[in-house]
Amino acid sequence: MQLTMFVVVPLVLLLSGVAIESATVKQKMPFEVRFPTKTGARILRRELDLEISNPKGKIKEVKVLRRRRQTTTEEQEFLDAHNEARFNVVPKAANMKKIKWSNELAQVARNYAQQCNWAHNPARTTDTKALTSQFSYVGENLYATSVSSVDPKSAVQSWDSEKSSYNYTNQACLGVCGHYTQVVWANSEYVGCASHTCPTFTGLPTSFNGGTIVVCNYGQGGNYNGQQPYMTGTPCTSCPSGYSCSNGLCVSGGDSNGSQTSSTTEDGDCFEGDGSNYQGQASTTVSGKTCLVWSSVYDFLPSNNYCRNYFSAYGVTEPVCYYQPGSYYVEPCGLPKCGSK
Ligand SMILES: *[C@@H]1O[C@H](CO)[C@@H](O)[C@H](O)[C@H]1NC(C)=O
Ligand SMILES: *[C@@H]1O[C@H](CO)[C@@H](O)[C@H](O)[C@H]1NC(C)=O
């Protein structure tokens, strides 16, 4: 037995004040740095165990762990299922953003899933605002099954399957379509999901006892009345400014297509110390490659900067960046040291 539930229309949009950022997030971050030596290069491969006290910026603690084989995490499965659905809309979407993970949305989803309540979390927006000021409205999809574990893909596919009832042209729906339109809401760039196995549920028959609830929260929430979830057209032809194209979806920052470049000299800024605190926008490596935004490599890292030295504990002495999606290889940004130029 399966059930789904979604939110149709956001009620009021209120801009939040100052965010309280008290969340502590633990994350692993594999990396590889090549140090030039007289005889070639020394390659350092490690996995950092990070404790991030403020997901927007500062890393508190860095420890080495033995590098492990990458496994597909539940988080990645939720993301992949969403992005697959977002790419496969019919008709095609011209402005569909690639969806990214939000630890804050996931934390709110986790807290709520644990309550085993088959009803929307009326506090999801305010709960999220207590962790981040990123979203003025948070959307939510729910899924419940009488089975004790859930595959993220099944939940997302059940929401996505409503597309057969949805007519894009006139937004007509035969039955329920709101989960689908939230999954493919072009402007919902972040998602955070959680599942929880519940001995009993509030709001569901006892036949669900021992089953699982899935909660996905979306920022910025979608399903605005009278709006279509996305613009139709050739994929990526209407990405917002500052976005580039990655596999038919719009991604912020970086440049996956080689069309835009910026140079460190143009940015004209410099770093101090070992570059751990550098927050500038310089985005080219010493060898001229275009840096990725950190958050496009690891969702838990900030999206507002490209060059940073997270590896100073390993003797790295200047800001570095990633330039290749899916690779752990980082390269110095070639920024000048302040005062030496
Ligand atoms: C969707 O709605 C439009 C406009 O009313 C109509 O012309 C079209 O046939 C509908 N498409 C489907 C698949 O029902
Ligand atoms: C971007 O990538 C697409 C797909 O590979 C390609 O067709 C297009 O020409 C590229 N655009 C630029 C500006 O390089």
Q: Is 167 in the pocket of ligand 1 (CB under 6 A)?
A: yes
pTM score: 0.57
For the cut 50, the answer to whether the pLDDT of residue 12 exceeds it is no
Per-residue pLDDT band for 332 (boundaries 50, 70, 90) equals confident
Distance (angstroms) between ligand 1 centre and the Cα of 169 equals 6
Give the mean pLDDT of the chain. 78
Query: What pLDDT is attached to residue 19?
Result: 29
Ligand nearest to the CA of residue 236, numbered in listed order = 2
Q: Write the pLDDT tens digit of every residue in 74-98.
A: 888 999 999 999 999 999 999 999 9
Q: Is 40 in the pocket of ligand 2 (CB under 6 A)?
A: no
Query: What pLDDT is attached to residue 261?
Result: 31
Q: Is 234 in the pocket of ligand 2 (CB under 6 A)?
A: no
282 or 225: which leads in pLDDT: 225
Top-confidence range, 67-76, 194-203, 279-288, 312-321: 194-203
CA neighbor of 337 nearest in space, from 272, 287, 279: 272
DSSP assignments along 76-119, one per residue: HHHHHHHHHHHHT-SS-BSSPBPPEE-HHHHHHHHHHHTT-BSS
Per-residue pLDDT band for 59 (boundaries 50, 70, 90) equals very low
Rounded Cα–Cα distance for residues 93 and 96 (Å) = 6
Q: How many residues does this entry show for the chain?
A: 341
**Coil, strand or helix at 206:** helix
Q: Which of 87, 239, 245 to mutate to test the pocket of ligand 2 (most atoms within 8 A of CB)?
A: 245
Per-residue pLDDT band for 60 (boundaries 50, 70, 90) equals very low
Ligand nearest to the CA of residue 234, numbered in listed order = 2
Query: Residue 321 burial by CB count (10 A; 0-12/13-18/19+): exposed, middle or buried?
Result: buried
Region 275-288 average pLDDT: 74
Per-residue pLDDT band for 214 (boundaries 50, 70, 90) equals very high
Residue written as token pair 């644990």: 114
Query: What pLDDT is attached to residue 149?
Result: 82
Per-residue pLDDT band for 270 (boundaries 50, 70, 90) equals confident
For the cut 70, the answer to whether the pLDDT of residue 259 exceeds it is no
Region 318-340 average pLDDT: 77
Region 272-278 average pLDDT: 78
Q: Which of 166, 167, 168, 228 to mutate to test the pocket of ligand 1 (most atoms within 8 A of CB)?
A: 167
Give the closest residue (by CA) to ligand 1 atom 1: 167
Query: What pLDDT is attached to residue 318?
Result: 83
Distance (angstroms) between ligand 1 centre and the Cα of 233 equals 17
Per-residue pLDDT band for 309 (boundaries 50, 70, 90) equals confident
How many CB atoms are closer than 10 A to CB 101? 21
Per-residue pLDDT band for 4 (boundaries 50, 70, 90) equals low
Rounded Cα–Cα distance for residues 131 and 90 (Å) = 35
Which runs of E-coded beta strand occur in the chain? 2-6, 25-37, 40-52, 59-65, 100-101, 138-145, 166-167, 172-173, 190-197, 212-219, 243-246, 249-252, 320-322, 329-332
Q: Is 164 in the pocket of ligand 1 (CB under 6 A)?
A: no
Distance (angstroms) between ligand 1 centre and the Cα of 151 equals 34
